[in-house]
Structure 1
Amino acid sequence: MHPEFEAYLQQRTSLKPDEIKQVSSKAIARTLKRNEDMLQAGDVCRHKTFVQSGLLRTFGVTADGNEHILLFSPEETWTLDVESYDKQKPSKVNITAIEPSRVLLWHKPDFDALLIQVPGLKQLAEQLISSSTHFNRQRILTTLSGSAEEKYEDFLLSFPDLLNRLPLRMIAAYLGISLKTLTRIRHAQLQR
Structure 2
Amino acid sequence: MHPEFETYLRNGSDMAEETIRRISDLAVPRNLRRNEVLFSAGEVCRHKVFVMSGLLYTFNISADGNQHILQFSPENSWTLDVESYDRQIPSQVSIGAVEPSSVLSWQKKDFDMLLAKVPQLKKFAEDLIARNTHYSRKRILLSLSATPEEKYEDFVQTFPNYLARLPLRMIAAYLGISIKTLTRIRHAQLQR
- Give the TM-score normalised by the residue count of structure 1: 0.99
Q: Distance in 2 between matches of 1:7 and 1:162?
A: 23
User: Residue deviations 1:92-150, cap 9 Å, x none?
Assistant: 00000010000000000000000111111111100100000000000001000000000
Q: Which residue of 2 aligns with 1:3?
A: 3
Residue 48 of structure 2 is aligned to residue 45 of structure 1 = no
The equivalent residue for 2:105 is 105
Matches within 5 A, 1:94-173: 94-173=94-173
CA distance in 2, matches of 1:137, 1:157: 17
- Residue 101 of structure 1 aligns with an amino acid whose one-letter code is S
**Structure 1 gap segments, 5+ residues each:** none
Structure 1 residue runs of 4+, over 3 Å off?
A: none
The AA in structure 2 aligned to 1:123 is K
* TM-superposition CA deviations, 1:150-171 (whole Å, max 9, x none): 0001111111111100000000
Q: Are 2:14 and 1:14 aligned? A: yes
- What secondary structure does 1:60 align onto? strand
1:70 CA displacement: 0.2
Give me the whole-angstrom Cα distance separating, in 2, the residues matched to 1:136 and 1:30: 27
1:157 and 1:80 map into 2 onto residues whose CA distance is: 25
Distance in 2, matches of 1:68 and 1:113, equals 34
> Deviations for 1:22-63, whole angstroms, at most 9, x for unmatched residues?
100100000001111111011010000000000011000011
Q: Kindly provide the amino acid, as one letter, of the partner of residue 132 in structure 1.
A: N
Match of 2:180 in 1: 180
CA distance in 2, matches of 1:83, 1:190: 41
1:83 aligns with 2:80: no
Amino acid across the alignment from 1:111: F
Query: Equivalents in 1 of 2:90, 2:158: separation in Å?
Result: 30
AA aligned to 1:104 is L
Aligned length: 192
Give TM-score scaled by structure 2 length: 0.99
* Residue in 2 that maps onto 1:32: 32
CA distance, structure 1, for counterparts of residue 172 and residue 156 of structure 2:
12
